[in-house]
């Protein structure tokens, strides 16, 4: 009898095993995906925004020319482009567009729409905000030889241009819409994306319905989606636990993850990745004694990043020790090289002794200053407390002051801070994006150290034009070494992304950036 | 009465003017503005030229006195301006959330008053008995427990025991009354408990005071039935201070449910307040403060007029 039960059990297991993967691979059509968006976009214009809140809202309604393939990140794949060629000298990019692509208002997409979109980003008309103007400054002309072909001719080589074309912010707009009103995309959605705009109830939610005329046949799988604005983490967690929301695609903290796993067990899926975000510490070189590189270097050397990583990763979204490029990504500095750079030593006793000596040599052995920080619990507060403690160990007193976002940014832009905790928010690992924050302040206002360093600027410009990967990598290392030796700014730790989704949510791809993968075209519900 | 009401209504103008001036200039003391938060708050790399152009578009580059003039001119036309964050009219932003906040305030008031009057009366009439002690424990609990924490307990209990939570998005009552009430009954209970405790304690203490008055003794001596003594003579007078409390609490609930709305993810005025402050959306903050000032003024006026209804000795304007 026991043997009979055993065989029956094995048979049942085998059947289950045979059906479950089949279910997992065969997408089902239908259903509405309810998910959390933990911030609300001020308007719908992808081009004028730099917040994920706009993408999690608008991306399902739009297409881009090309995009990142999240299954093989950072490879680039076509979206509206069915194919493309890049001239060997990197001076011409030719894109062929899919046929019969229609905007949601029924008009047909042509190369003119792509040209109008990129013209709007690189030469914004009066009243249009485009933070991407500098990114596309290397584009000389955009030609449209026929309705399905777009040719970008460059003024100068930019070795990362194809990655910039894949930016999720480059939503393709209708040429006629932006000709009628250049700011129309702020309040009106007319894209070619997998979902058609439903409603936006301010402060509450956004909805989209399946675009039955979507140019990728069979997609999307969902009937629709509802993105609910949940500004308070506890409310979001309750809603995920209660099944009202099936996921949150930005990222949650380890404590929040543990709560969901503890309460929901195997009903929740947790996906984790290193994140293209880091918190960094910036010293204002216009304020004494931070104009002295010895002082800045001493303060960096006192920070035990490796020990901090072990502790902070349990209580905050910070985790990985890294240089200027996301650790683990192809161009990142490996740990064995990183430990040789100022601020990354593992022997903290020796590093702190050296830091004390540097402070004494600089004449500020009992340094006191204000650490300017943002008033957000995750992960700014733990980062601030961590730094205060690290500096206390070399006899430095930091007065930790946290401010709401507006005064926090205003004080830093005005150069009123002494030492600040800043952050770097990227959507890819490309060095042209990651290093830009460290350029001279007159070229890069987001450089909060306010340092002017023409050697860094030259290294950056040379690396942008360099097509040989190994030479480019060497230039990135040289740039990084220079930044850390001069100790203007330095990442404290890189963030760790944790995304919870209900088990029934399938087809969503995890990536190192919360700005990617918001289109939802391949997502389906296994119910 | 009519003359008194008109006088009070006229007093609204200087009061609102004072509020407008104070709010406008106090907000400008805080460094930073909405443009920086919008374009640089999430790590944006926009240039200073873009920031300056946006400031110009919204008139934030003008001298403060000109901005104030524009604001007062708008107010004179009952135009609260546009939200600097969403670029939509402030009145539209407020009215979207007002229906929800008003409904929660009304439901909480009904819940509180329906419970507080019998509880307060019983506690006063049975002073020193176990009933009084139970009511006192319940009401002290209501005063001590913050509404948002009680709300969190309600949510956790619903989740733990029933694996269920109320709807997360608002449905107007005329569209689907069941969905509407299913969502709002819980926050109304959470804030109504504290509200009920305040009113019940007020009724208990004022009823105890009234019950010792000569006219109560006289009524009893005349042989009036005890229930009539309580309902017609004692309770009617004891309700006067409670009405003031009910009015103030009601006005507070319209904009004061800041944390409770976050706990229940309600799209109300309190949540909008938090958002607009964190974004430095000055025009929206100004609009909401004006709206709340108007609410307080009118609730106070209604309370004063109700005094005359409950106490015939009070006659305004005579």
Per-residue pLDDT averaged across A181-196, rounded?
96
Parallel, antiparallel or unpaired: strands A32-37 and A419-425? unpaired
Residue B40 has pLDDT above 90, yes or no: no
Q: pLDDT at position A9, please?
A: 40
pLDDT value of residue A6: 41
Q: Answer whether B37 touches A (CB < 8 Å).
A: yes
Start and end residues for every CATH 3.90.76.10 domain found in chain A: 32-196+504-525
pLDDT for the residue B317 = 55
pLDDT over 50 (residue B79): yes
B169 touches chain A (CB under 8 A): yes
Torsion angle of the four alpha carbons A25, A26, A30, A35, in this order, in degrees rounded to the nearest 10: 0
- Neighbouring CB atoms inside 10 A of B93's CB total 26
Asked whether the beta carbons of residue B263 and residue A231 sit closer than 8 angstroms, the reply is: no
Give the chain A residue nearest B151 (alpha carbons): A235
What would the CATH number be for the domain defined by B91-310?
1.10.3720.10
Q: What is the pLDDT of residue B257?
A: 84
- Compute the nearest-CA separation of B173 from chain A (Å): 16
A239 near A228, Cβ under 8 Å? Answer: yes
**CA atoms of A65 and A115, how far apart (whole Å):** 11
Average pLDDT, chain B: 90
Classify burial at A438, counting beta carbons within 10 Å of its beta carbon; exposed 0-12, middle 13-18, buried 19 or more: buried
Among A264, A406, A422, pick the best mutation site for testing chain B contact (most B Cβ within 10 A).
Answer: A406
Distance separating alpha carbons of residues B204 and B119, to the nearest angstrom: 8
Q: Under CATH, to which class is A32-196+504-525 assigned?
A: alpha beta
What gap in Å lies between CA A41 and CA A35, rounded to an integer? 15
Which of the four pLDDT bands, split at 50, 70 and 90, describes residue A500?
A: very high
Q: Decide if pLDDT at B21 tops 70.
A: yes
pLDDT tens string A237-263: 999 999 999 999 999 999 999 999 999
Q: What is the pLDDT of residue A1?
A: 39
pLDDT digits (tens, 9 = 90+) for B219-239: 999 999 988 999 888 998 898
Q: Tens of pLDDT along B93-142?
A: 999 899 999 999 999 999 999 999 999 999 999 999 999 999 999 999 99
- Pick the residue from chain B with its C-alpha nearest to A427: B43
User: For residues A71 and A91, what is the distance between their CA atoms, to the nearest angstrom?
Assistant: 29
Interface test with B, best of A229, A235, A279 (most B CBs within 10 A): A235
Residues of chain A with CATH 3.10.105.10: 275-496
Q: How sure is the predictor about A8, in pLDDT bands with cuts at 50, 70 and 90?
A: very low
pLDDT at A446 exceeding the cut of 50: yes
B163 in A contact zone (CB under 8 Å):
yes
Q: How many CB pairs under 8 A join A and B?
A: 150
The answer to whether residue B154 neighbours chain A at the CB level (below 8 Å) is no
Q: How many other CB atoms are found less than 10 A from the CB of residue B268?
A: 30
User: Residue A263 and residue A255: Cα distance in Å, rounded?
Assistant: 12
Residue B302: pLDDT over 80: yes
* pLDDT for A10 beyond 50: no
Distance separating the N- and C-terminal Cα atoms of chain A: 36
In this prediction, residue A144 carries a pLDDT of 98
Instruction: Kindly state the average pLDDT of the residues A38-43.
Output: 89
Question: Which residues of A fall within a CB distance of 8 Å from B167?
Answer: 244
Report the pLDDT value the prediction gives residue A445, as an integer from 0 to 100.
Answer: 82
pLDDT score, position B43: 67
- A493, A308 in Cβ contact below 8 A? yes
Confidence of residue A24 (pLDDT cuts 50, 70, 90): low
- What's residue A51's pLDDT? 86
Query: pLDDT at residue A369 above 90?
Result: yes
Is pLDDT larger for residue B38 or for residue A251?
A251
| pLDDT tens digit sequence for B159-201 | 889 888 898 889 999 999 999 999 999 999 999 999 999 999 9
Does domain A275-496 match CATH 3.40.50.10190? Answer: no
SS (H, E, C) B51-76: HHHHHHHCCCCCCHHHHHHHHHHHHH
| Mean pLDDT, rounded, of chain A | 92
For A282, residues 6+ apart whose C-beta sits below 8 A from its C-beta are A417, A419, A420, A421, A422, A447, A448, A449, A488, A489
User: pLDDT tens, B262-301?
Assistant: 889 899 999 899 889 888 899 999 999 999 999 988 888 8
In this prediction, residue A15 carries a pLDDT of: 37
Place of tokens 């933990």: A38
CB-based contact, B138 to chain A, within 8 Å: no
Provide CATH 1.10.3720.10 ranges for chain B: 91-310
Diameter of chain B measured on Cα atoms? 85
């Amino acid at each position: 009898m026991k043997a009979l039960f055993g065989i029956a059990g094995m048979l049942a297991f085998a059947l289950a095993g045979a059906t479950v993967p089949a279910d997992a691979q065969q997408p089902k059509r239908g259903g509405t995906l309810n998910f959390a968006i933990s911030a609300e976009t001020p308007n719908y214009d992808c081009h004028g925004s730099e917040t994920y809140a706009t993408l999690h809202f608008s991306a399902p309604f739009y297409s881009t020319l090309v995009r990142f393939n999240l299954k093989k990140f950072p490879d680039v794949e076509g979206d509206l482009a069915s194919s493309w060629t890049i001239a060997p000298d990197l001076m011409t990019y030719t894109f062929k567009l899919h046929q019969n692509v229609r905007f949601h208002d029924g008009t047909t997409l042509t190369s003119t729409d792509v040209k109008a979109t990129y013209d709007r980003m690189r030469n914004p008309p009066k009243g249009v905000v485009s933070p991407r103007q500098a990114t596309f400054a290397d584009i000389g002309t955009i030609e449209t030889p026929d309705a399905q072909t777009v040719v970008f001719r460059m003024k100068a080589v930019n070795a990362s241009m194809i990655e910039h074309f894949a930016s999720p912010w480059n939503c393709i707009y209708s040429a006629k819409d932006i000709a009628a009103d250049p700011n129309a995309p702020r309040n009106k959605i007319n894209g070619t994306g997998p979902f058609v705009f439903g409603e936006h109830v301010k402060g509450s939610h956004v909805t989209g319905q399946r675009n039955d005329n979507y140019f990728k046949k069979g997609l999307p799988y969902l009937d629709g989606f509802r993105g609910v604005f949940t500004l308070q983490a506890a409310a979001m967690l309750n809603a995920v636990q209660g099944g009202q929301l099936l996921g949150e695609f930005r990222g949650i903290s380890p404590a929040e993850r543990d709560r969901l796993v503890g309460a929901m067990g195997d009903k929740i899926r947790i996906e984790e990745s290193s994140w293209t975000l880091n918190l960094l510490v910036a010293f204002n070189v216009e304020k004494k004694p931070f104009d002295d590189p010895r002082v800045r270097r001493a303060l960096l050397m006192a920070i035990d990043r490796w020990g901090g990583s072990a502790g902070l990763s349990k209580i905050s979204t910070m985790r990985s020790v890294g240089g200027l490029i996301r650790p683990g990504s192809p161009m990142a500095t490996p740990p064995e090289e990183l430990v040789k750079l100022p601020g990354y030593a593992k022997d903290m006793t020796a590093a702190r002794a050296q830091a004390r000596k540097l402070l004494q040599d600089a004449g500020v052995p009992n340094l006191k200053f204000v650490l300017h920080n943002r008033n957000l619990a995750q992960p700014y507060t733990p980062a601030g407390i961590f730094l205060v403690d690290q500096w206390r160990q070399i006899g430095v007193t930091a007065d930790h002051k946290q401010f709401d976002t507006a005064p926090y940014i205003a004080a830093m832009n005005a150069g009123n801070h002494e030492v600040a905790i800043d952050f770097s928010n990227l959507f890819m690992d490309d060095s042209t994006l990651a290093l830009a924050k460290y350029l001279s302040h007159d070229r890069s206002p987001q450089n909060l150290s306010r340092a002017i360093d023409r050697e860094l600027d030259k290294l950056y410009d040379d690396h942008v034009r360099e097509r040989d990967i190994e030479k480019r990598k060497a230039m990135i290392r040289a740039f990084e070494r220079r930044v850390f030796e001069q100790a203007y700014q330095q990442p404290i730790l890189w963030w760790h992304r944790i995304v919870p989704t209900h088990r029934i949510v399938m087809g969503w791809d995890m990536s190192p950036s919360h700005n990617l993968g918001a289109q939802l075209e391949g997502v389906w519900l296994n119910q | 009465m009519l003359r008194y009401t008109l006088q009070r209504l006229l007093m609204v103008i200087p009061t609102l003017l004072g509020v407008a001036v104070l709010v406008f200039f106090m907000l400008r003391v805080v460094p930073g503005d909405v443009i920086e938060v919008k374009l640089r708050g999430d790590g944006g790399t926009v240039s200073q030229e873009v920031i300056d152009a946006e400031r110009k578009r919204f008139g934030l580059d003008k001298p403060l006195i000109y901005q104030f003039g524009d604001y007062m001119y708008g107010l004179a036309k009952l135009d609260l301006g546009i939200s600097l964050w969403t670029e939509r009219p402030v009145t539209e932003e407020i009215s979207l959330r007002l229906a929800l906040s008003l409904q929660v305030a009304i439901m909480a008031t009904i819940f509180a008053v329906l419970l507080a009057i019998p509880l307060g009366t019983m506690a006063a009439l049975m002073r020193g008995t176990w009933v009084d002690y139970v009511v006192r424990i319940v009401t002290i609990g209501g005063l001590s427990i913050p509404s948002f924490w009680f709300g969190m307990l309600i949510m956790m209990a619903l989740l733990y025991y029933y694996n269920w939570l109320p709807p997360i998005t608002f449905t107007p009552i005329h569209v689907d009354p069941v969905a509407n009430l299913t969502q709002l009954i819980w926050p109304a209970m959470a804030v109504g408990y504290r509200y009920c405790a305040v009113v019940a304690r007020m009724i208990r203490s004022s009823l105890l005071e009234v019950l010792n008055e000569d006219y109560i003794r006289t009524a009893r001596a005349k042989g009036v039935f005890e229930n009539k003594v309580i309902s017609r003579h004692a309770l009617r007078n004891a309700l006067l201070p409670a009405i003031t409390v009910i009015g103030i609490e009601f006005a507070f609930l319209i904009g004061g449910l800041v944390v409770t709305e976050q706990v229940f993810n309600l799209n109300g005025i309190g949540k909008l307040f938090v958002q607009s402050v964190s974004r430095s959306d000055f025009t929206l903050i100004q609009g909401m403060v004006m709206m709340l000032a108007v609410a307080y003024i009118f609730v106070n006026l209604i309370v004063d007029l109700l005094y005359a209804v409950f106490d015939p000795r009070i006659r305004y304007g005579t």
